[in-house]
Amino acid sequence: MDKMTVRDVEVSGKKVLLRVDFNVPLDEKTGEITDDNRVRASLPTIKYLTEQGAKVILMSHLGRPKGKVVDGLRLAVVARRLSQLLGQSVGMAPDCIGPEVEKLVADLNSGSVLLLENLRFHAEEEAGDASFAQALARLGDVFVNDAFGAAHRAHASISGIANYLPSVAGFLLEKEVENLGNILENPARPFASLLGGAKISDKISMLENIIEKVDFLLIGGGMAATFLKAKSCEVGLSLVETEMLDTAASLMGKAGKSGAQLLLPVDVVVADELNEEAKIEVVPVEKIAREKRIVDMGPQTISNFSQELRNCQTVFWNGPVGIFEIPRFAQGTQEIAQLLANLKATTVIGGGSTAEVVNEMGLADKMSFVSTGGGASLEFLSGEKLPGVEALQNLA
């Protein structure tokens, strides 16, 4: 990575504003954290800073409060969990800017940690407001961005603040850029990209960029229906992005010209309803009934995909290959995850719901790298510049 990192600046005794991604899932009933992996991912940078004697001021968003204070989206629950993980008390500020916060920051000791309240309680955060960025910048001497999951947003705390403070990358952001960059620039071959999820439109730029770089492109999940429809298959009630049919056909053509092998499902699990009681059956893709919808890959497709993946040296996976939230429709996704966990290859998981799957299954430590950013990883692999990375200082 050609950007400066936290190793390249003096932080001892300095007030370090550290942008982290603590946008963790919360239990609707208890309000407790259900998956703390994003908090854990920030620990190496936080521990480094405290050990170096920095005064650490953490900034994050949580959920989508849309510029208003929402009690259920306060960050106190994260401060409690972080205190447990760090083994030291983490202070909780009542807001993220203002005189009261400035006083708390002024009173910090070296090695101590303060978490600011949800940035998105202020509409100015997502608007990238310069005055709000300046108000945040007044709290620190150095800015460190470790929030890769939000690095594709030109928000005040992501790119705006870099206009007012020396700005460098944290260890997590550095690791994300290096791992994702390596599979684009120098993947061990054969290189496969396995893509699922509901929509092609979410991944079109990445597909266009990666199609000439991969040896195999495997398409599953809801987005497979649009590809199948583009091949004149009946897909029943499955979601089809009709405006993407030409794009799907074009991508299949490009794959052929580039020498990449594009694999689509040959059989699927279909259901009449989207619940645990639904009637399901496995059918070839040519025999999907009009009143049914695709909910998972079929056994032959799982076998076909697995056969190709076993021969690969690099695999990038983004998007479940079935409606994994409903356990009955999760078999394909789970089998693929298990397969990748056992591959002797570089396996990179593209954040979002795919990261959720491998974390829930306890397989994250068996993958080469699990990104913390779903949207950010897709934009990075699209070849687009991420505002949160571009704003950081370049290496000399």
Catalytic residue set: 38, 199, 352, 375
Q: What is the mean pLDDT of residues 207-228?
A: 94
Of residues 257 and 216, which shows the higher confidence score? 216
Cα–Cα distance, 321 to 286 (Å, whole number) = 19
Can you give the pLDDT at residue 45?
98
Instruction: Convert the pLDDT of each residue in 63-86 to its tens digit.
Output: 999 999 999 999 999 999 999 999
Cα–Cα distance, 351 to 317 (Å, whole number) = 9
Name the pLDDT band for 258 (thresholds 50, 70, 90). Answer: confident
Can you give the pLDDT at residue 199?
87
Can you give the pLDDT at residue 66?
95
Name the pLDDT band for 257 (thresholds 50, 70, 90). Answer: confident
Name the pLDDT band for 374 (thresholds 50, 70, 90). Answer: confident
User: Per the structure block, which two tokens stand in for 313?
Assistant: 């040296």
Name the pLDDT band for 351 (thresholds 50, 70, 90). Answer: confident
Instruction: Flag whether pLDDT at 198 surpasses 90.
Output: no
Can you give the pLDDT at residue 229?
96
Of residues 137 and 373, which shows the higher confidence score? 137
Can you give the pLDDT at residue 54?
98
Q: What is the mean pLDDT of residues 99-126?
A: 98
- State the chain's mean pLDDT as an integer: 95
State pTM to two decimals: 0.91
Of 78, 111, 106, residue with least CA distance to 92: 78
The full set of domains in the chain, from first to last, is 6-174 (3.40.50.1260), 187-381 (3.40.50.1260)
Alpha helices in the chain (DSSP H): 37-41, 43-51, 76-86, 99-106, 123-127, 130-137, 171-185, 204-210, 223-230, 245-258, 299-310, 331-341, 352-360, 374-381, 387-390
User: Cα separations (Å) of 65 from 32, 291, 352?
Assistant: 17, 38, 20
Name the pLDDT band for 352 (thresholds 50, 70, 90). Answer: confident
